Amino acid sequence: MPRTRPAGPAPATAPQNQGILMGRIVVITTGGTIAARPRGHGHASAAPGREVVAAVDIPPAVQVEVLDLCVLDSPLITTAHQVRLLHTIHDLFARRDVEGIVVTHGTDTLEETALLADLHHHDRRPVVFTGAQRPPGEERPDGPGNLRDALLTASAVSGVGTLVVFGGKIYPARDTVKSHTLALDAFAHPAGPVGEVRADTVLLHARPVRPSPLPTPSWTLPRRPLRVDMVMHHCDADPALLRAAVEEGAQGVVLVATGAGNATPRFAEAVAEATGRGVLVALTTRVPGGPVAELYTNGGAVDLVRSGAVPAGTLRAGQTRAAVLAALLATDEPGERARLLHRATASSAPLAA
């Protein structure tokens, strides 16, 4: 017989070897490859949530409720969709019968939405993101298996914030990025997965360290959509695009620098100009691994940070943008935005359970 526990928040601690636990898991669907259908010469999101879930061999001890948020390819996801998702999660956790939440999402921007959810995650019950690399109808589609693993995980863990479950592996939302365009094992984390799903067993090997959560942002978005642009440094780069982003009304800019966070003196000048106008600037790197570090001057991270850029730690470009967005949604005060961004980007790694 499967173990059961009363509805409501999960226990404060979860054992490393998690069995299946009775509970209602709400699946919030947003589209993506897991919901794709043939269209023209390719595929596009089209299937409603009930069709996505119908393809899954749902574990008998898991009760599933489906909630359609949108049906979009993930490159089309906007801040408005993400804020709506945050509020949907917040409202669902007000219900005592909800054991956990699974979000199906396209893989292209999953890492951004997952981190944003994690930065605002205030409950011990989990939010688990998953999706697919192969559309339904192709040989051996991976969506149904990923969703089943996500359901199992959402019903078995607690106190871990937002997770990404993909290819049988469990990752913390923070620092987990899409690492391959086509492979079924599409996501990676610098420290590796924090757990795995084997058949009907969820194994949690480590627990993510997370900053204290930000409050759920207001439903009311500015009339003019929040603009957060990304600018990459490269050989021969100049800050023209950074300045253009500011002139176009960007409230936040992510500078994707080289090395440990380095650019040129002209970029440092442009960063100082932008932050002087109240624009929130974050500094990350185009290098796949390692943190931003204040090592070099002459336009390096030392100068960029002194000019007002906030170093993003180990977060890469897309997740750095999500952290900037979270800070912008939290307050209108420039100094407080920078403080919240520092908090959101502080480096952390999974710790052993």
Binding-site positions for substrate: 74, 107-108
Q: Which amino acid is at 224?
A: R
What's the CA gap between 157 and 19, in Å, rounded? 9
Q: Which amino acid is at 48?
A: P
Asked if 100 and 161 count as a contact pair (C-beta separation under 8 A), the reply is: no
Report the SS3 class of residue 78: coil
**Active-site entry in 79, 107, 109, 113:** 107
For the CA atoms of 154, 319, 331, 158, the dihedral, rounded to the nearest 10 degrees, stands at: 20
CB neighbours of residue 183 within 10 Å: 11
Whether 33 sits among the annotated catalytic residues: the reply is yes
The DSSP output letter for 3 is B
Per the residue annotation, which of 33, 264, 285, 314 is the catalytic one?
33
Token output for 106: 């396209």
Which residue numbers belong to the known binding site? 74, 107-108
Q: Are strands 280-285 and 252-257 parallel, antiparallel or unpaired?
A: parallel
What is the spatial distance between Cα 341 and Cα 109, in angstroms, rounded to a whole number? 20
The set of catalytic residues is: 33, 107
